[in-house]
Amino acid sequence: MRPDESMRDPVRCRLHMRTIIRIIAVFFVVIYTATGCSSLVPEKYVKAGFANFLDQPQHYALFLPGALVYEEKLRVFGIEDYAQRLSQKSGIRDPTAVAMERFLASIPSLAETTVVQPKEAGDLPLDWNYPVLFFHGSWEFVYRRLPPSFAMNKLRMGVGAKVIPLGQVLGNRGTFALKTAVWEGKCGYEAFDGKFISLDEWEANNGELLYKGIEAAQDHCVKMLAEEYLEALPG
């Protein structure tokens, strides 16, 4: 029987369809697992992993460098990354690194944490399974859609912190939602209640509004992340 004839047989056709469906299902399970989109880790393992982190004689904090940028969609239009230029012109420090430092300073038990610069992470004399704190963030100008204007932007930020194995960071998978995080906190914020502000105003007085907006975001997110971390502590 030729392949095209087998598909005309209702029974064979159903068998073919079931096989195809199973293959597709297996494919999605593999992708789902490989990308770590599931966080369905048994709570007892999460607690044990977090306790292991707390028991370490020395804590380490690593971070993914961040900078203020225009939202990625604007690259399609060939728009100059004014946000990054303004950030550099104003001399603003990496906002993610600053948020991390403030978070560590707000938690007494993390006051002696060693902050590891990204370029030095690979030199740590630690096992890849050693649990570390990892921070990442997004800091961007978002242009106004209605009425559309590239010159009117709001400042939107997000900060994430988690306890994951060192190897995940060294493998450039620190930002992935893998099932290895034994503690994780996230925070989002829009400066000045999401108000759209002209580029001239953002740039005025050497970026004074920009400083205030980023600082307000750090205040908000550091407080939120610290509360979440303290709530996760045993006892």
Based on the domain organization, do 12 and 103 belong to the same domain?
no
Domain hosting 8: range is 3-34
Both 22 and 137 in one domain: the answer is no
**Digits of tens for pLDDT over the chain (235 positions)?**
433 444 445 545 544 454 443 443 333 333 333 333 434 557 888 999 999 999 999 999 999 998 888 877 666 666 667 777 887 777 889 999 999 999 999 999 999 999 999 999 999 999 999 999 999 999 999 999 999 998 899 999 999 999 999 999 999 999 998 889 999 999 999 999 999 999 999 999 989 999 999 999 999 999 999 999 999 999 7
Q: Are residues 13 and 73 both part of a single domain?
A: no
Looking at residue 154, the DSSP 8-state letter turns out to be E
Is there a single domain that holds both residue 14 and residue 84?
Answer: no
Q: Are residues 89 and 151 in the same domain?
A: yes
- Could you count the other beta carbons within 10 Å of the beta carbon of residue 202? 20
Based on the fold, state whether residues 136 and 171 are members of the same structural domain: yes
Q: Is 47 exposed, middle or buried (0-12, 13-18, 19+ CB in 10 A)?
A: middle
Residues in the chain: 235
Do 16 and 61 lie in one domain? The reply is: no
Whichever domain contains 133, its CATH number is 3.30.160
Q: Are residues 65 and 161 in the same domain?
A: yes
- Same domain, yes or no: 16 and 89: no
Residues 21 and 121 in one domain: no
Dist. CA 180–CA 126, nearest whole Å: 17
pLDDT given at position 189: 97
- Our measurement of the distance from residue 153's CA atom to the centroid of its chain's CA atoms, rounded to an integer in Å, reads 22
Beta carbons within 8 Å of 60's beta carbon, 6+ residues apart:
113, 114, 115, 116, 124, 126, 130, 132, 133, 166
**Strands 114-116 and 60-63, bridge-based pairing:** parallel
Same domain, residue pair 19 and 82:
no
Structure confidence at residue 90 (pLDDT): 79
Whether residues 227 and 185 fall in one domain: yes
Number of compact structural domains in the chain: 2
